[in-house]
Amino acid sequence: MREVTRIVAGTFVPDRRSVLRRMGMDDADDVPPRVNKLIARAADRFADLAVPAVLLETLTRDEFAAVYRGDGANAADAPLDDIVPRANRLALFTATLGGAIGREIHDEVQTGDPALGYVLDVTASDAADRLAYVAAERFRSVVAGRSHRMFKVLPYSPGYCGWHVSGQRALFDRLRPVEIDVILTSSCLMDPLKSVSGVLVAGAAACHRFRSTYPFCDACASHACRARIATVK
Ligand code: SF4
């Protein structure tokens, strides 16, 4: 199965609290009116320029094993080594906000209003991260069929948790996301920049559980896996 989901940008504008959180503030803080105004302007700009789209394609465990192997640069032991064998279904995904929003951020930062450019960048980053969860929800509801409530789906991406960023090459070789106009640069960055990619893992909640005691976890500042795992309990 391969499908593209397109989203109306106006329905996908990050809320003010999310943007504030990413800027290290919260509603309880005395947020200056100028910041509130910048957030509102960035939201309008986002609604005008973003073109959110999600591509996903199912694949077998063996097919994913070849993608995951990539250039052979992954950590010797990583969460996906444990999670994938327990999974029921897998899909690769790429999702993007399109190129116009990135160009607008660049122009505002370079020659326009840098403060607006910064807030627009934060707004777009928040939306791009959420696209991975849109892909996960889409996969859960479409692929798992009637029993979808039993399945929990989480996205996992190259560049995180032992999956080396060079894994993007094998992922893009396999997925070839031409329908949504995302390409990979020689340094494994996606173009447009406000894009996300990875594998969607569908399985019982227990399939996603692991201890964050891999050698590379010592250097992890966020331990974001704990919050992610909590969402599928
Ligand atoms: S602690 Fe950090 S590096 Fe380790 S699995 Fe969790 S998110 Fe990944």
- How far from 203 is each of 42, 48, 76, 146, CA to CA, in Å? 37, 37, 24, 14
Take residue 100 and report the two structure tokens written for it.
Answer: 């116009």
Q: Mutate which of 83, 154, 212, 231 to test ligand 1's pocket (most atoms within 8 Å of Cβ)? A: 212
Is the Cβ atom of 217 under 6 angstroms away from ligand 1?
Answer: yes
Block residue for tokens 């494994």: 188
Q: 197 alpha carbon to ligand 1 midpoint, in Å?
A: 18
Q: Tell which atom from ligand 1 comes closest to the C-alpha of 161.
A: 8
CA distance 77 to 195: 27
Give the phi and the psi of residue 198 in degrees, each rounded to 5. Answer: 160, -155
Decide the pairing of beta strands 152-156 and 89-96: unpaired
In terms of pTM, does the model score above 0.85?
A: yes
Per-residue pLDDT of the chain (233 residues; tens, 9 = 90+): 999 999 999 999 999 999 999 999 887 678 899 999 999 999 999 999 999 999 999 999 999 999 999 999 999 999 999 999 999 999 999 999 999 999 999 999 999 999 999 999 999 999 999 999 999 999 998 776 656 567 899 999 999 999 999 999 999 999 999 999 999 999 999 999 999 999 999 999 899 998 989 999 999 999 999 999 998 87
